[in-house]
Structure 1
């Protein structure tokens, strides 16, 4: 299990990236999503707020789709 966060600011492509706690690319302006066993439920939770949520290419590569 790990703590996941979503970036409150969209990237230039419109994605709101989901990060695992401790990721070097996690921004300071992030919303806590919860403690999840993998990135998939974290991204699903993030999409309740941001329909364009996507996994970070570095800490959540399995959930990185764009």
Structure 2
């Protein structure tokens, strides 16, 4: 399975750890929410790292689905 996700501007606390909500969908179109606590570019190229850092600051407001996180998602 592959998913495509986009960064939102919403942060929540997950067991004492800040997590950013990312929203997206699978290749089949199933909507998903991801709670991301860490993300790192896997490149040693300074230009790639700079591009990654710049793109990471580009956020969008979350949809209604991401505003009310179901309790079953919080481990």
Bigger share in strand: 2
Give the TM-score of the pair, scaled to structure 1: 0.28
Larger Rg computed on CA atoms: 2
Bigger share in helix: 2
